[in-house]
Structure 1
Amino acid sequence: MPLADAITKASKVDVLIIGAGPAGVMCANALAMAGVNVRIIDQRPVKVAAGQADGIQPRTIEVLQSYGLGERLLREANQMHMAAFYNPSPSGGIERTSRAPDVTAPSARYPFEVTLHQGAIEAIFLDSMEAHGVSVERPIVPTSIELSQSEEELKDVTLKHLNPAEHQGDSEIVKAKFVLGADGAHSWVRKSLGISMDGEQTDYIWGVVDMVPDTDFPDIRCKCAVHSNNGSCMIIPRECDLVRLYIQLSDRDVVDPATGRVDKSKMGPDKLLAVAQKSFKPFEISTSSPIDWWTLYIIGQRVASKFSVNERVFIAGDACHTHSPKAGQGMNASMNDTHNLAWKLAHVLRGWSDLSLLKTYEFERRKYAQDLIDFDKKFSKLFSGKPRTEENQDGVSHEEFLEAFQTFGLFTSGIGVHYEPSAITHNQHQSCASKLIVGERMVPHVFVRAADARPYDIQDVLPSDTRFKVLVFVGNIADSSQADRVRTLADEIGRPESFYHKYGHEAPSKVFDVLSIASAKKQDVDYTGATYAAQAPEQHWSKVLLDDTDMYARVGGGGYERYGIDAQRGAIVVVRPDGYVVIVAPFERLEDVHAYFGSFMVARS
């Protein structure tokens, strides 16, 4: 067939996403909600039905909640609140050594992990995308990508439709302004661009099996780390009655002596369960139900040498970092990659920010990936190492493992992710809000709305809607001198040369969402009299909050203290669209806020 006849069509799109795993659907949904012209393709004819990744960390729950998806996740998923630790017993077999909270992250809004199979998690995004008119196109594979030397020109990506409609060719050329490769550890996009994966493969071989257990093991519905003389296991309780077992294997179990490679045919779910049964003694574990899913893997810890090419083609998720699955980071890291990228793409496409903003994606997420690999090497070594016993004093002690489990809690939960200073993260006035760390996510806290005393978690009034949130902690506006300071600030923000109007283009409220948070009490303030920070006619009555309790004193209050903000004088706090604090400043340094936005945003023409 001549090439011309094989071409189905030529099309244009703002963002083409290759791969509909967690990273891809997170990005597609965020862009669809932002009104961006986006397409997402995948080579699989159908979505994932079972197995794969299954753990969602506390920070990622907050992220899903910011898109309006948290409630469904919590409704469908299993919650893990407690972890249990088992070690060799002096009498043989294993015994429980301790129990502890599953999450060590005091400021977590959701202080637990949730588990749900990857297909069900992806379905949450797929349904949301479809509500915004975007669906995954399957089965389609990319066959070539051509990068333009000009920033203004589009990128050509040739797609092959594996199941084309009758009387249509199977080839399509797409001109895309931006391309995202979210196509997994064997990423075609990464390989096509010649991006290397740097790192190494460990000698640890593990099996995974999802099943409904029949067992007398007392902590089967808790996250468990089991160290036995027969090897290590991890238990992850799942939705409904399912449980996932991670089972450490020896070379003789799965390695072909002739090739030195893992031979999956030497192992199956029944054999995996037999290995686990030895590690669980004196407890019994089996199943009378069909195995839901199983696989084998060797831990590989690698990071891509770069995450983008010319700030036009990006890679995310497993395409740019791979690591052990047992710390529950893979899907979380992947989705948070594209949560970081999506709003930046939207801002550039709308002309609000220049292309330099996209450089911060690699700056922020590659450092995070490297930190993740460093953590994973330590955690995998501890988890896969032999337990310390009287005969093996060089092994891993329970105390050593538990200390690492708790020490790494802020990192593994996602709560402690920290972005270093950059064009979009300025920390020169950190002391104005000493406990709101610039470069970290906005700490959750309950405030009440001035108009009706309805309590709200601050995160719920900061949705991921591509807007910068300007939180003006106006202090005690019941005091006349403070009220004067706030009025002066309001006048300055209202001027044409302020960031609000200079970078807000024709509709500043679509770029910036300004909220006022007073330290005065509900009995002393009428929202109609509360001086708000931006003299914008679209300022809504719902945008004035108070640092006070609800009507029954059950929640709220103490927010200024928790954030380290002076309750009398207040402060300005800017939160970027993905929920991270990026600059704090006193009222008298508003020019630094202007300069912050001027470092990457495009001024109104």
Structure 2
Amino acid sequence: MSYVGQEIEHVDVLVVGGGPVGLIIAYQLARNLPSPHKVKIIEKHPKSAQDNYGRAITLFPRSSEMLDQLGLADSLAQQCFACRQTVNYDKDGNEFPGRGWSFMENMKDTKWDFALVLRQKYQEEIFRQALKRHGVNLDAPFALISIETLDTVGPNGYKVIATVENGVTKVKSTIKCKYLIGADGGSSSVRRAMDIPFDGSSSADKWVRVDGVIETDLPKPRTYCAIESPTHGNVLWAALDHGATRIGYAFTAERQKAYKEFNEEAAVKEAIASVKPFKLSFKQVDWWTIYVVGQRIARSFFAKDCVFLAGDACHTHSSGAAQGMNTGMHDAVNLGWKLSLVLQGLAKPELLYTYESERLPNVQKLINYDKDISRLMTMQLPENWTGDPRADPNEVLGQIMAEAATFSSGLGIYYEPDSVLNITPKTQLSTVQPGQRAPDVTLHKPATFETTRLQAETPNAAKFYIVIFAGDVAKTRPSLAAFSNSAADHSWLFDESLPVSFISILSGPGGPSAYETLGGMPFGRVFYDQTQCAHERYGVNTGTGAVLVLRPDGWVGTVVGLGKGGPGELMHYFSTFLRIGSTARL
């Protein structure tokens, strides 16, 4: 293809897809990359504050935590419906505890201990405005027409040539970029352009979702509710933002026979039938849809060392477990900080391969859960079911939802240890292991003793945090001194250009001066663990202490001892993927 005479736009990253996943990736890059790095995001469909309702609605605690560390969660909380209560009704309208969404009432160990329910329309507007504040606007409507990759161009070079078309003027233009990200949904044009197979299948099952303002005699309408309908499967009843409600039900082959055309009127009629014995009427319908249930996964999330897939572009599943947007958020956050560091020349390009190696196993786990959950919600036992063939699908569904609880909340999602980013220590120094989420804990600031949280003090700015759990300083002072003396021989630890920052957590009530408590200058910012709850939650002995590395995305990277060998182990950890010392910046 010839580009002679064409004006070619050069950007570092082109993000294709202006939904939540694409917006969050673009936001991280715009926020983390200093000038003159450039980020561009395009969307095929027009976007505005008046977008359609519907689509994804729920963020679970780990997603909220990640967005909190990006400075976005408070804006979501301003508009959301914070759902902490669930209820399950059997076919006769009697409460049946322990089934359905009951796991949501036990999502603890986090400030965000609820389902943050806010329709995608409102979430996207918040993300667009945040992105705009960092100088990047969503360009829409622009469609991706083609992708060409240049094999002769090395890492961090302009390896991708994309052709895009203005949806209004139909004028085509060319963009050269170092990396291209496809966050453009299940029918991804990026995935198709790169000829990446999309393995999986669709079932014969169809589900309907209807959002609107309702009147009902259901006793607990402002909850996440399941109704065990004999005709419409396990019916979803979800309280939404702005006083609205979502009703979701299985549209069985039996029900489909009654309609030559299935329109909004029919969707509402079936919704009313699905919640029997309760009464339901719609004062207003905001949105409705019907879709085929299926599970698919891209064979690769990263192609040609320069093209990524994220969100629905690389995995699709039912909305049965409400994981679609949450899984996409995990993709976006995992990729965002890694790409930021590589583009700045702070990390080796090989770091980008950990995106697929970390996300793919978790996506596969979700697909496996979703296959079972989606069948059970349609009152069918799982395909590989070996239990009682007469088992009640509602009972089995409750068991599987409970089994998947920590995965669904996101708080139990982990990345495999003993990889480049997650190195297990030879001696267990903390009960929180590399590859696991770093728990949020209460801390107190020096002097004022104001309460704060670890996650609030470790924002995701594409930076690692070396967190020194100093324990009881009266006992750990020799180890602290040894660590300090050894650190002096590893001056790279204090190179301000490196994406690494220190935090020290001292066990005890705190004194007038951290300097005097420690007998010298502390490492980084200091906080007090007044009741030892932080040390206890991390399983760190206050008599010995420990040093944990927190990744930018809030997972633990490694744990080292508080002593002479600690700085050397940190050197070993960081040197595997960061550019340190003379290897410097690109």
1:363 aligns to what? 357
Post-superposition shift, 1:442? 1.0
Post-superposition shift, 1:404? 2.3
With the length of structure 2 as denominator, give the TM-score of the two structures. 0.91
Distance 1:393 1:365 in 2: 34
Residue of 118, 129, 145 corresponding to 1:127: 129
Give the root-mean-square deviation of aligned CA atoms: 2.3
Post-superposition shift, 1:393? 7.7
2:562 aligns to what? 587
**Unaligned 5+ runs, structure 2:** 382-387
Distance 2:265 2:519 in 1: 65
Pairing 1:138-537 to 2, within 5 Å after superposition: 138-149=140-151, 150-152=153-155, 153-154=157-158, 155-164=160-169, 170-232=171-233, 233-254=235-256, 266-289=261-284, 291-385=285-379, 394-396=390-392, 398-421=394-417, 422-429=419-426, 431-434=428-431, 436-479=432-475, 482-495=476-489, 497-501=490-494, 504=495, 507-508=496-497, 511-523=499-511, 526-531=513-518
Is the alpha carbon distance of 1:288 and 1:441 closer, same or farther for their aligned partners in structure 2, counting shifts above 3 Å?
A: same
Local SS of the residue matching 1:466 = coil
Distance 1:126 1:350 in 2: 24
Distance 2:261 2:52 in 1: 25
With the length of structure 1 as denominator, give the TM-score of the two structures. 0.88
Local SS of the residue matching 1:292 = strand
- The one-letter code sitting in structure 1 at the alignment partner of 2:191 is R
1:80 aligns to what? 83
Distance 1:528 1:449 in 2: 14
**Unaligned 5+ runs, structure 1:** 257-262, 550-556
1:39 aligns to what? 40
Is the alpha carbon distance of 1:381 and 1:375 closer, same or farther for their aligned partners in structure 2, counting shifts above 3 Å?
A: same
- The one-letter code sitting in structure 1 at the alignment partner of 2:215 is D
- The one-letter code sitting in structure 1 at the alignment partner of 2:493 is Y
2:17 aligns to what? 19
Local SS of the residue matching 1:185 = coil
Q: 8 Å contact 2:433–2:558 — kept in the other structure? A: no
- The one-letter code sitting in structure 1 at the alignment partner of 2:26 is A
Is the alpha carbon distance of 1:103 and 1:307 closer, same or farther for their aligned partners in structure 2, counting shifts above 3 Å?
A: farther
- The one-letter code sitting in structure 2 at the alignment partner of 1:521 is P
Q: Percent identity?
A: 29
Local SS of the residue matching 1:472 = strand
Local SS of the residue matching 1:114 = strand
Distance 1:223 1:534 in 2: 51
Distance 1:393 1:338 in 2: 40
Q: 8 Å contact 2:14–2:40 — kept in the other structure? A: yes
Post-superposition shift, 1:600? 1.1
Q: 8 Å contact 1:246–1:326 — kept in the other structure? A: no
Post-superposition shift, 1:71? 1.1
Q: What number of residue pairs does the alignment pair up?
A: 560
Is the alpha carbon distance of 1:26 and 1:532 closer, same or farther for their aligned partners in structure 2, counting shifts above 3 Å?
A: farther
Distance 2:425 2:392 in 1: 43
1:544 aligns to what? 526
Please give the per-residue CA displacement for 1:185-242, whole angstroms capped at 9, x wherever unaligned: 0001101111011112223211010011111011221111111211221111101210
Please give the per-residue CA displacement for 1:316-337, whole angstroms capped at 9, x wherever unaligned: 0000000011311111111220
Is the alpha carbon distance of 1:604 and 1:3 closer, same or farther for their aligned partners in structure 2, counting shifts above 3 Å?
A: closer
Local SS of the residue matching 2:96 = strand
Post-superposition shift, 1:31? 0.7
Q: Which moved more, 1:60-69 or 1:378-387?
A: 378-387
Distance 1:383 1:181 in 2: 31
Post-superposition shift, 1:409? 1.1
Distance 1:190 1:13 in 2: 20
Q: 8 Å contact 2:85–2:104 — kept in the other structure? A: yes
- The one-letter code sitting in structure 1 at the alignment partner of 2:513 is D
Distance 1:104 1:311 in 2: 41
Q: 8 Å contact 1:82–1:223 — kept in the other structure? A: yes
Distance 1:112 1:535 in 2: 37
Distance 2:173 2:97 in 1: 58
Is the alpha carbon distance of 1:11 and 1:212 closer, same or farther for their aligned partners in structure 2, counting shifts above 3 Å?
A: same
